[in-house]
Chain A
């Protein structure tokens, strides 16, 4: 017996209203409707499978605790996406600080073979492999901006909104990341990995 999403089920707004009113089934239905989106974004932003369960759990716990802050219940998906971005940002920043302070061992390089589907066209494979080769060396915000733009396919405005930064900041972050991506695509050898 499981809750499953149904295209004919309640709208996002109705789910939010019911969840705010304390309905457990609505919370679970919301989770199941958006778990694919959240798992997917977390995976693409982090690039490591074994860390995303914690991240997804945290995102939904935060979401359910803060549903009252959602101004437009119909915008649940976009709101959850921005939560994933913020939570990932926090996690990556903490990890970077801990690594710099010697409190955490450096992570192994991302494994593009596992990340990128073998069914992707050759040009897509090349771009995705280049992205995941460079992102560990990018500043956290530039990394997130690059993945949102080049993997999630968001517009610059959507990147800015998801990250909670101005459009000009988003453009600057993207420029940093895309310059590194250009270099990586020019020289696809592993040597280009800093």
Chain B
């Protein structure tokens, strides 16, 4: 028998894909941050720099709803993220909001930018210019940028600042000086008076990424108690890709239980649920993890996925709550990407 000639049939085998799923995976990619930061300010060739400026000019074509190059002063622009969002100004400075963060630009002017981190984690990458100052307000403190990349987190525990490169000065709101200067690699939390000399970080925030740890093929490897959320995320991803779901689950579980205020906790709970359901045959554990994911990140981009997987877990458990959960899901997401599969659950 002759085979028909090979032709492109891919359009007949397409995954169910919507914006939320794309956002959620991007949140995972962003959270990993394994990609190295190139020494932009030091060695980028002139051509690349020129391309960067040219790109900034056309950014308006790529960014929907962003004010890419405000010619007139802007005030009160609020950026709120689901999974993750970014905003880039015309000078190339950017703010990347972590999961469920809220950032307000109080002022964007040629001579100064002022922004307020209202909640969550925001990473700023500021192009230094003598002509323009950057100040980030966060929970009663001001972070005055000196041309750098830094992360500001506002949570119930207070304010945290971590400098990845360059330097910032942290002062009490409204003060004109006398604050603490932080250099690359240093961090500070509001539990420490800002006027004291810099001290080693006591924050639970992630620091520089460390290499992924190797994982056992047969049993779960204990998670180091000193690991940061970023370490744990890397460990989890490495283990999952290496085919060790139990190790991956343990690392995700550690993120959501040890770092519940971390922006990645909800995502970690969701990934834990997926692993328990798909790879570990533990629908009851998956259900608990999905519930936790929804609790930790009620407005996350993966909420719909988490609720759909929750129904699947109940179905796998033959749980009497399944029909009600299915109906609730279909009422909430009648045209969602999972509507068809969820409607077939718990017949």
Contact = CB atoms under 8 A, between A and B. Distances in A.
Q: Do A and B bind each other?
A: yes
Contacts of B26: 28, 31-32, 35, 60
Contact of A98 (B19, B47, B217): B217
A145 B217 CA distance: 28
A64 B34 CA distance: 8
Contacts, number: 199
Interface residues of B, number: 69
A153 B38 CA distance: 37
Nearest to B248: A54
Nearest to A64: B35
A170 to B, nearest CB: 13
A68 interface: yes
Nearest to B43: A21
Contact of A117 (B14, B21, B40, B59): B14
B328 interface: no
Contacts of B203: none
A17 B11 CA distance: 31
A2 interface: yes
Grouping DSSP codes into helix (H, G, I), strand (E, B) and loop, the B interface class, with mixed when no group exceeds half, is: mixed
Interface string A90-132: 1100110110010111000000000111011001110110000
Nearest to A53: B25
B24 A127 contact: no
A77 interface: no
A24 B62 contact: no
18 contacts: A1-B64, A3-B64, A10-B58, A14-B55, A23-B92, A24-B96, A26-B55, A35-B22, A40-B17, A49-B16, A57-B237, A61-B32, A64-B34, A67-B35, A117-B11, A117-B14, A153-B10, A185-B1
Interface of A: 1-6, 8-10, 14-15, 17-18, 20-29, 31-32, 35-36, 39-44, 49-54, 56-58, 60-61, 64-65, 67-68, 90-91, 94-95, 97-98, 101, 103-105, 115-117, 119-120, 123-125, 127-128, 149-153, 178, 181-182, 185-186
Q: Which 4 residue pairs spanning A and B have beta carbons closest together?
A: A153-B8, A43-B15, A64-B35, A120-B12
